């Protein structure tokens, strides 16, 4: 086995020495496909480097001792190993071989210091075909002997990126038996580039999909750029559809530094069609040749420089789902390969094609059944979220926008994957598990979760358990109210206003300053009505606006939102509404109107109170508008701050009908953990004893005073916490739509236990 092999010497069978990428480039070259010239630093060279320098055993020891589920430890070990890998001097013999190969490449091309792309291509000893795609690094526009050597070594080190270590552990690959080859290939300074699937990537239909954008292909592959899309009929040799996208950015080689940079697409090109008809037919021809050569559908990357087409990569489309819709639920793989991990935010399994959404211009690409992948969802995305079968986000915890909306829509969702939108590949098929928070490669065999007409919730209604402690439901989107009411919940324990406001697209303050308060009131009436109607005559607690400045910035008129270092501790909740009473008044006016129309089932709940004066002032404003707190309308506060919990008797003295524990906030404020900060997410837990201590205190005081108690934070959907709350004598529990049935069962069981206990005690007396 040689240290380096030029593409002409490699075949597709050489995966063990050249990795999948290297072996396929060899195969394409030998098949006469135009591939930029290059060579592979084989896996043997990596192995020799590891053994000869003596670093292998030490690295394996670090990995042996590592608990990959401890994220901090994983990151630290990865940094340590990569440091060893890059700082260890490469033996001269290996260095010389790489430099000689690079010089031979330059000589062949007829230029000095040719720019090359340096790409990792990992391979497993036992399973050379295993896919490690996207886990190791690629470096573009590298040139010169020293840099080429340095970046080859960096590729080797990237075998120990934390995500690669995690992936191997989760999928039982032995670290010591995974090797890495490195492809060194002439860089195409593309004027346009993209990807091509030689069949429909999810259905396997015989039509070619080409995605194209300006500049280097990195933009398309990473999903940063929304490319033009072209569908091509393989049989008739004709374009079926060409959709021009608005291409905002592109990647190119900086002529001064040689580095790859992202720049704005010149205005005259952004909405211009990238590919000519001739280029499309040339690409399609190449696609068909490659497909026929492998006798299997291919997922390829291509680039065009000076009008010449180059194929940069080809690999089998392994995630095809050739079956029709009916048979899809039975088919699928048993092999569970985890490719991303986050928090399970909305339960259920879903498989489909990944569609990465970077901005709202790209929402149209989400079709029924796709998996929407994004950094974080926004209200603008809700229509696309409804079309999707699953949602994956980089950021967020279980109370973020994506989590709340997907739970209400009943769509499986994984949030907080960190880099899901970077590592998942556009159009690849994945399966997500919204309970465990895992994203698996390909379509897995899953239970058929399509319950048809007979949904689990309707089944519960037919077999309704009666509980004394009311089981309510949280609603954030009026359009999800009907589904929420079908759970048989005893009312809405939290109707959030933020999602309704955000969906309007205009900052509520702007309605007021534009003299359009009546429009704001009308929109609120329409939205609240949907919920009040779906639940009538059961109570709906409308929570007044809790608008954090960072979340409302994106709205029209939101540019005036102040910048805050920590919006979670800042200008939100009732404190903000008392500073901007016009918005609060508009909300109260909407509720008054609905009360006048007979919807007296609506109560008011104030968020984030910390002092009784806030409650007093809000009641005064309500009276100004014509509402009569505690007389004709139920009035309550959320207990979300330790301050409110510890002085609950003062709030009771000021006058309230109910309190509801907002444990999402109560947890963050009690433990000093920003609920939106993923760096401290590991410490965030509603199960910290301090939270239950505060809750117990409040329930006790409220029960003494005849004030109702409830919970509407995420903890109200957690069976173990609900159990304790029922034992403490809480009046109601408000859960997520998907959790109502379980919570009802828990409540019924605990109540039965308490009744039995009391009865036994009585009998003994």
Name the residues annotated as catalytic.
401
Are 663 and 688 a contacting pair, CB within 8 Å?
no
Stretch of 303-311, 662-670, 677-685, 692-700 contacting ligand PEP, by CB under 6 A: 662-670
Partnered with residue 305 across adjacent β-strands are 308
Residue with Cβ nearer ligand PEP (193 or 712) = 712
Stretch of 87-95, 213-221, 516-524, 659-667 contacting ligand PEP, by CB under 6 A: 659-667
User: Which of 316, 342, 315 is CA-nearest to residue 166?
Assistant: 342
Tokens (6 digits) for 190 = 């593309």
Choose the contact partner of 316 out of ligand PEP, Mg ion, none; CB within 5 to 8 A by kind: none
Residue with Cβ nearer ligand PEP (230 or 555) = 555
User: Which of 607, 691, 605, 697 is CA-nearest to residue 648?
Assistant: 697
Give the separation between CA 227 and CA 298, rounded to whole angstroms.
19
- 663 binds ligand PEP, rule: CB under 6 A: yes
- 218 binds ligand PEP, rule: CB under 6 A: no
Interacting residues with Mg ion between 527 and 566 (CB under 5 A):
none
Choose the contact partner of 186 out of ligand PEP, Mg ion, none; CB within 5 to 8 A by kind: none
Choose the contact partner of 414 out of Mg ion, ligand PEP, none; CB within 5 to 8 A by kind: none
Choose the contact partner of 663 out of Mg ion, ligand PEP, none; CB within 5 to 8 A by kind: ligand PEP
Give the separation between CA 640 and CA 659, rounded to whole angstroms.
10
Choose the contact partner of 45 out of Mg ion, ligand PEP, none; CB within 5 to 8 A by kind: none
Residue with Cβ nearer ligand PEP (612 or 662) = 662
Q: How many CA atoms lie within 13 A of 238 on its CB side?
A: 2
Stretch of 73-81, 511-519, 642-650, 665-673 contacting Mg ion, by CB under 5 A: 665-673
Tokens (6 digits) for 198 = 């030689």
Mapped onto helix, strand or coil, the DSSP state of residue 542 is strand
- 227 binds Mg ion, rule: CB under 5 A: no
Residue with Cβ nearer ligand PEP (35 or 673) = 673
Among 199, 527, 662, 721, binds ligand PEP (CB under 6 A): 662
**DSSP at 397:** -
Stretch of 211-219, 245-253, 654-662, 688-696 contacting Mg ion, by CB under 5 A: 654-662
- 483 binds ligand PEP, rule: CB under 6 A: no
Are 206 and 235 a contacting pair, CB within 8 Å?
yes
Secondary structure (DSSP) of 498-537: HHHHHHH-B-HHHHHHTT-HHHHHHHHHHHHHHHHHHHTT
Choose the contact partner of 394 out of Mg ion, ligand PEP, none; CB within 5 to 8 A by kind: none
Closest distance between ligand PEP and the C-beta of residue 399, in Å?
5
Residue with Cβ nearer ligand PEP (487 or 664) = 664
Q: Strands 116-124 and 178-186: what pairing?
A: antiparallel
Closest distance between ligand PEP and the C-beta of residue 640, in Å?
5
Choose the contact partner of 494 out of ligand PEP, Mg ion, none; CB within 5 to 8 A by kind: ligand PEP
Residue with Cβ nearer Mg ion (640 or 701) = 640
Among 211, 551, 665, 738, binds Mg ion (CB under 5 A): 665
Q: Which residues, at least 6 apart from 551, have a Cβ–Cβ distance to it below 8 Å?
A: 401, 498, 502, 567
Give the separation between CA 362 and CA 360, rounded to whole angstroms.
5
Interacting residues with Mg ion between 627 and 646 (CB under 5 A):
640
Mapped onto helix, strand or coil, the DSSP state of residue 209 is strand
Tell me the site size for ligand PEP, rule CB under 6 A.
11
Residue with Cβ nearer ligand PEP (153 or 670) = 670
For every residue of 20-74, which 3-state class applies, written as one string?
HHHHHHHHHHHCCCCCCCEEEECHHHHHHHHHHCCCHHHHHHHHHCCCCCCHHHH
**DSSP at 125:** S
Are 665 and 719 a contacting pair, CB within 8 Å?
no
Tokens (6 digits) for 251 = 């990647």
Give the separation between CA 68 and CA 116, rounded to whole angstroms.
34
Stretch of 135-143, 375-383, 660-668, 749-757 contacting ligand PEP, by CB under 6 A: 660-668
Tell me the site size for Mg ion, rule CB under 5 A.
3
> Which backbone phi and psi does 79 adopt, to 5 degrees?
-60, -45
Torsion of CA 370, 483, 447, 404, to 10 degrees: 60
Stretch of 220-228, 234-242, 395-403, 656-664 contacting Mg ion, by CB under 5 A: 656-664
Interacting residues with Mg ion between 162 and 191 (CB under 5 A):
none
Among 356, 662, 694, 722, binds Mg ion (CB under 5 A): 662
Q: Strands 192-197 and 178-186: what pairing?
A: unpaired
User: Which of 540, 746, 543, 552 is CA-nearest to residue 639?
Assistant: 543
In 53-158, beta strands by DSSP E: 116-124, 138-142
Q: Which residues, at least 6 apart from 689, have a Cβ–Cβ distance to it below 8 Å?
A: none
Residues 490-519, one symbol each (x = binds ligand PEP by CB under 6 A, - = not), give ----x-x-----------------------
Choose the contact partner of 712 out of Mg ion, ligand PEP, none; CB within 5 to 8 A by kind: ligand PEP
- 673 binds ligand PEP, rule: CB under 6 A: no
Residues in the chain: 765
- 686 binds Mg ion, rule: CB under 5 A: no
Residue with Cβ nearer ligand PEP (362 or 546) = 546
Stretch of 151-159, 226-234, 562-570, 658-666 contacting Mg ion, by CB under 5 A: 658-666
Closest distance between Mg ion and the C-beta of residue 607, in Å?
6
Stretch of 410-418, 496-504, 655-663, 722-730 contacting Mg ion, by CB under 5 A: 655-663
Residue with Cβ nearer Mg ion (510 or 611) = 611
Which H helix or E strand runs over 287?
Answer: helix 277-294
Residue with Cβ nearer Mg ion (389 or 640) = 640
In angstroms, how far is the first alpha carbon of the chain from the final one? 88
Are 292 and 198 a contacting pair, CB within 8 Å?
no
Are 212 and 277 a contacting pair, CB within 8 Å?
no
User: Which of 751, 743, 738, 735 is CA-nearest to residue 493?
Assistant: 735
Residues 78-117, one symbol each (x = binds ligand PEP by CB under 6 A, - = not), give ----------------------------------------
- 354 binds ligand PEP, rule: CB under 6 A: no
Give the separation between CA 545 and CA 560, rounded to whole angstroms.
18
* Burial class of residue 235 (count of CB atoms within 10 Å of its CB; 0-12, 13-18, 19+): exposed
Interacting residues with ligand PEP between 703 and 742 (CB under 6 A):
712-713
Give the separation between CA 300 and CA 217, rounded to whole angstroms.
11
Give the separation between CA 456 and CA 730, rounded to whole angstroms.
26
Interacting residues with ligand PEP between 540 and 599 (CB under 6 A):
546
Residue with Cβ nearer ligand PEP (218 or 546) = 546
Closest distance between ligand PEP and the C-beta of residue 419, in Å?
25
Choose the contact partner of 496 out of Mg ion, ligand PEP, none; CB within 5 to 8 A by kind: ligand PEP
Choose the contact partner of 670 out of ligand PEP, Mg ion, none; CB within 5 to 8 A by kind: none
User: Which of 162, 152, 157 is CA-nearest to residue 101?
Assistant: 152
- 664 binds ligand PEP, rule: CB under 6 A: yes
- 665 binds ligand PEP, rule: CB under 6 A: yes
Residue written as token pair 């809405």:
492
Choose the contact partner of 207 out of Mg ion, ligand PEP, none; CB within 5 to 8 A by kind: none
- 399 binds ligand PEP, rule: CB under 6 A: yes
Q: Which residues of this protein are in contact with Mg ion, per CB under 5 A?
A: 640, 662, 665
Q: Which residues of this protein are in contact with ligand PEP, per CB under 6 A?
A: 399, 494, 496, 546, 640, 662-665, 712-713
């Amino acid at each position: 086995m040689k240290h380096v092999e030029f593409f002409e010497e490699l075949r597709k069978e050489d995966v063990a020495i050249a990795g999948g990428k290297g072996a396929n480039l060899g195969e394409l070259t030998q098949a006469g496909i135009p591939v930029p010239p290059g060579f592979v630093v084989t896996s043997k060279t990596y192995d020799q480097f590891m053994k000869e320098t003596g670093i292998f055993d030490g690295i394996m020891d670090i990995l042996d001792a590592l608990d990959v589920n401890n994220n901090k430890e994983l990151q630290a070990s990865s940094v340590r190993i990569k440091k060893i890998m890059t700082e260890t001097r490469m033996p001269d013999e290996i260095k010389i071989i790489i430099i000689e190969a690079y010089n031979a490449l330059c000589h062949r091309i007829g230029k000095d210091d040719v720019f090359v792309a340096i790409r990792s291509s990992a391979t497993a000893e036992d399973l050379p075909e295993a896919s490690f795609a996207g886990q190791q690094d690629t470096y573009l526009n590298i040139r010169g002997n020293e840099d080429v050597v340095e970046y080859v070594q960096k590729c080797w080190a990237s075998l120990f990126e934390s995500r690669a270590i995690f992936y191997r552990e989760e999928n039982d690959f032995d670290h010591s038996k995974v090797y890495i080859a490195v492809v060194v290939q002439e860089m195409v300074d593309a004027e346009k580039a993209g990807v091509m699937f030689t069949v429909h990537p999810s259905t396997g239909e015989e039509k070619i999909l080409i995605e194209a954008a300006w500049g280097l292909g990195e933009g398309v592959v990473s999903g940063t750029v929304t490319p033009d899309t072209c569908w091509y009929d393989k049989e008739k040799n004709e374009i079926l559809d060409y959709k021009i996208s608005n291409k905002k950015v592109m990647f190119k080689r900086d002529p001064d530094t040689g580095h790859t940079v992202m720049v704005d697409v010149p205005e005259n090109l952004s909405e211009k069609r990238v590919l000519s008809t001739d280029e499309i037919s040339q690409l399609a021809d190449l696609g068909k040749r490659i497909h026929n050569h492998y006798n299997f559908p291919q997922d390829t990357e291509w680039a065009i420089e000076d009008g010449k087409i180059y194929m940069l990569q080809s690999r089998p489309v392994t995630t095809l789902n050739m079956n029709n819709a009916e048979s899809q639920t039975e088919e699928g793989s048993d092999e569970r390969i985890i490719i991303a991990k986050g928090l399970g935010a909305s339960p259920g399994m879903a498989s489909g094609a990944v569609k990465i959404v970077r901005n709202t211009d790209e929402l149209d690409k989400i079709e029924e059944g796709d998996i929407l992948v994004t950094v974080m969802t926004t209200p603008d995305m809700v229509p696309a979220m409804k079309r999707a079968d699953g949602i994956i986000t980089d950021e967020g915890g279980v109370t973020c926008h994506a989590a709340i909306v997907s739970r209400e829509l009943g769509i499986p969702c994984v949030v907080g994957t960190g880099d899901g939108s970077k590592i998942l590949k556009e159009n690849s098929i994945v399966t997500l598990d919204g309970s465990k928070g895992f994203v698996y490669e390909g379509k897995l065999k899953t239970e058929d979760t399509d319950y048809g007409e007979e949904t689990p919730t309707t089944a519960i209604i037919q077999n309704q358990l009666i509980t004394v402690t009311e089981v309510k439901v949280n609603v954030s989107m009026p359009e999800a109210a009907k589904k929420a009411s079908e759970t048989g919940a005893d009312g809405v324990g939290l109707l959030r206003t933020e999602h309704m406001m955000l969906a309007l697209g205009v900052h509520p303050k702007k309605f007021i300053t534009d003299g359009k308060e009546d429009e704001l009131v009308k929109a609120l009436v329409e939205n609240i009505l949907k919920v009040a109607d779906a639940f009538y005559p059961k109570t709906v607690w409308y929570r007044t606006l809790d608008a954090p400045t960072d979340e409302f910035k994106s709205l029209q008129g939101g540019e005036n939102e102040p910048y805050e270092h920590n919006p979670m501790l800042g200008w939100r909740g009732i404190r903000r509404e008392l500073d901007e009473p016009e918005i609060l008044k508009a909300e109260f006016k909407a509720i008054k109107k609905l009360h006048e129309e007979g919807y007296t089932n609506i109560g008011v709940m104030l968020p984030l109170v910390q002092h009784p004066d806030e409650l007093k002032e809000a009641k005064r404003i309500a009276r100004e508008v014509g509402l009569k707190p505690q007389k004709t309308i139920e009035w309550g506060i959320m207990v979300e701050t330790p301050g409110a919990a510890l002085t609950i008797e003062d709030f009771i003295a000021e006058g309230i009908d109910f309190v509801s524990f907002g444990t999402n906030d109560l947890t963050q404020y009690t433990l000093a953990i920003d609920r939106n900060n993923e760096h401290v997410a590991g410490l965030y837990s509603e199960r910290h004893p301090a939270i239950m201590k505060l809750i117990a205190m409040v329930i006790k005081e409220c029960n003494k005073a005849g004030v109702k108690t409830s919970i509407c934070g995420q903890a109200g959907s957690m069976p173990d916490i609900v159990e304790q709350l029922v034992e403490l004598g809480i009046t109601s529990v408000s859960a997520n739509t998907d959790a109502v049935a379980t919570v009802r069962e828990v409540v019924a069981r605990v109540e039965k236990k308490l009744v039995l206990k009391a009865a036994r005690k009585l009998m003994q007396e």
